[in-house]
Structure 1
Amino acid sequence: MTDFTPEQIEAARLAFARPAVFLQGAAKIEQLPEPDLPEVAFAGRSNVGKSSLINALTGQKGLARASNEPGRTREVNFFLVDERIRLVDLPGYGWAKASKVETRKFQNLGRDYLRGRVNLKRVYLLIDARHGVKAPDIEALDALDLAAVSYQIVLTKADKIGPQERQRVAEATLKAVSKRPAAFPRLVLTSSEKGFGIPELRAEVLLACET
Structure 2
Amino acid sequence: MEATRSMTDFLEDGRLLFAGPCEFIFASAKSSDLPPLGPPEIAFAGRSNVGKSSLLNALTNRKTLARVSHTPGRTQQLNFFALGGQPGAERLRLVDMPGYGYAAVGKEKVASWGVLMHDYLRGRASLARAFVLIDGRRGVKPVDEEMFDLLDQSAVSYQIVLTKHDELKVSERAGVAAATLAALAKRPAAYPEIIFTSSQTGEGIPALRAAIAQLLAERNA
Task: Give the TM-score range, shorter chain.
Answer: over 0.9
Superposition deviation, residue 30 in structure 1: 1.9
User: Residue 66 of structure 2 corresponds to which residue in structure 1?
Assistant: 64
State the partner residue of 1:119. Answer: 126
Structure 2 residue corresponding to 1:143, chosen from 127, 141, 150? 150
The CA deviation string for residues 118-140 of structure 1, in whole angstroms up to 9 with x for no partner, is 01110000000000001111111
Asked if the contact 1:129/1:169 (under 8 Å) is kept, the reply is yes
> Which residue of 2 is the match for residue 206 of structure 1?
213
Give a deviation string over 1:92-134, Cα, whole Å, max 9, x none.
1112532101111012201110000001110000000000001
* One-letter identity of the residue aligned with 2:53: S
Q: Distance in 2 between matches of 1:97 and 1:184?
A: 32
C-alpha deviations, 1:37-61, integer Å up to 9, x for none? 0001000101101111110000001
Contact 1:72/1:96 (8 A) holds in 2: no
Report if aligned partners of 1:38, 1:86 keep a CA contact under 8 Å in 2. Answer: yes
- Alignment partner, residue 4 of structure 1: 7
* Deviation at residue 162 of structure 1 after TM alignment: 1.7
| 2:61 is the counterpart of 1:44 | no
User: Which consecutive unaligned segments of at least 5 residues does structure 2 have?
Assistant: 1-5, 85-89
Aligned length: 208
Q: Deviations over 1:158-186 (max 9, x none)?
A: 11002221111001100110111000010
Within a 5 Å distance, the mapping from 1:10-159 to structure 2 comes to: 10-82=12-84, 83-159=90-166
Give the Cα separation in 2 of the matches to 1:188 and 1:98.
29
- Name the CA distance, whole Å, in 1 between partners of 2:118 and 2:75: 14
**TM-aligned CA deviation for residue 144 of structure 1:** 0.9
**AA of the residue aligned to 1:49:** G
Separation (CA, whole Å) in 1 of partners of 2:30 and 2:112: 10
Amino acid at match of 1:178: A
Whole-Å separation in 1 of the counterparts to 2:120 and 2:214 = 22
Secondary structure of 1:25 counterpart: strand
Q: Distance in 2 between matches of 1:150 and 1:109?
A: 18
User: Unaligned regions of 5+ residues in structure 1, if any?
Assistant: none
Are 2:7 and 2:214, in contact at CA under 8 Å, matched by a contact in 1? no
Describe the SS at the equivalent of 1:184. Answer: strand
- Residue 177 of structure 2 corresponds to residue 175 of structure 1: no
Q: Under a length normalisation based on structure 2, what TM-score does the superposition of the two structures give?
A: 0.91
Do the aligned residues in 2 keep the contact of 1:92 with 1:107 (CA within 8 Å)?
no
CA spacing shift, 1:63–1:96, aligned 2, 3 Å? farther
Letter in 1 for 2:78: V
Q: Distance in 2 between matches of 1:93 and 1:186?
A: 23
Once the two structures are overlaid, the 10-residue window that deviates more, 112-121 or 88-97, is 88-97
Counterpart of 2:49 in structure 1: which amino acid?
N
RMSD: 1.1
| TM-score where L is the length of structure 1 | 0.95
Indicate conservation of the 8 Å contact 2:10/2:211, yes or no: no
| One-letter code aligned to 2:7 | F
